[in-house]
Amino acid sequence: MEKTSEKKTVLVTGASSGIGQGIAIGFGQLGARVIVNYHSDKEGAQYTLNKITASGGEGFIHQADVSSEDEVQAMYAKAVDAYGPLDVLINNAGIQKDSSFSNMSLDEWNAVIKTNLTGQFLCAREAIRLFEQKPDVGDNDKSKGNIIFISSVHDVIPWAGHVNYASSKGGISMLMKSLALEVAQKKIRVNCISPGAIATDINDDVWKDKEKMAELLKLIPYKRIGQPEDIAKAAIWLASDESDYVTGTTIYVDGGMTLYPGFLENG
């Protein structure tokens, strides 16, 4: 990734591991100021920050449960104290609690909706409030703030045994589009990245198992599992002025998983 003199302030939720960690490190390599949010893995967050500072970026780690309004507001207050108004929110924190539908407890349903959907709402709302306080820019100027929701291919691919997760991701899709419409005239851009199978802790039961991995690859026309860097590169582009005319859209970074791979030789 090329270095840039542009020092963006970027808040990445769920940045102690996986996709969030990869994105936070990617922005660090560009010299950005990165607020590394984490929920429970302080060591992972510290690792992310070390990588950021080692490559010329700066930042700090901050513990907050994204589904808590108070904790989210306190996190933004600290970010503004440190760096002033935010430029980019990477709305990433998410969890899975898998269960067949009839066995799914209300707790499993609520936990996933709270973190994946309500958490993204709360973090996006605070970011929008900050962006709205920035001075107005002209119609032909670049955007004054960017939100990137990290969703999943399961915002369009139904997923048996994961109804809570797929519902949360489908919800993010309409949250993103409706918000994008609401704030576009304020020169705020809102987009989504929907990753396919990316090798992270969330699915290590699959990619660490040879047989399950072989089954997974049948669902990926491009025939490799993704890496967090694949998502980081898309996020960096979406957060940059290079994508200034892009808002309200979803980029699927999935090796073709959304191409109905079963139709390669059938149908």
**Rule CB under 6 A: which residues touch ligand BGC?**
96, 152-154, 196-197, 202-203
Q: Which residue's C-beta sits nearest to ligand BGC?
A: 152
- Report, in Å, the least distance between residue 198 CB and ligand BGC: 7
- Report, in Å, the least distance between residue 33 CB and ligand BGC: 28
Range list of β-strands (E), the chain = 9-12, 33-38, 58-63, 88-91, 145-150, 188-195, 250-253
> How far, in Å, CA of 213 to CA of 195, rounded?
17
Angle subtended at Cα 166 by Cα 87 and Cα 124, rounded to the nearest 5 degrees: 20
State both tokens at 59. 């930042």
- Report, in Å, the least distance between residue 253 CB and ligand BGC: 11
Out of 76, 165, 252, 260, pick the active-site residue. 165
State both tokens at 211. 């047989």
- Report, in Å, the least distance between residue 98 CB and ligand BGC: 9
The answer to whether residue 252 is catalytic is no
Q: Are the C-beta atoms of 53 and 33 separated by less than 8 Å? A: no
| Nearer CB in complex with ligand BGC: 84/161 | 161
Q: Are the C-beta atoms of 29 and 235 separated by less than 8 Å? A: no
The 10 Å CB-count burial string (b at 16+, else e) for 38-75 is bbebeebbebbbebbeebebbbebbebbbbeeebbeeb
| Nearer CB in complex with ligand BGC: 3/260 | 260
- Report, in Å, the least distance between residue 197 CB and ligand BGC: 4
Q: Are the C-beta atoms of 60 and 50 separated by less than 8 Å? A: no
In Å, how far from its chain's centre is CA 105?
26
| Nearer CB in complex with ligand BGC: 69/98 | 98
| Nearer CB in complex with ligand BGC: 203/249 | 203
Which active-site residues does the annotation give? Answer: 165
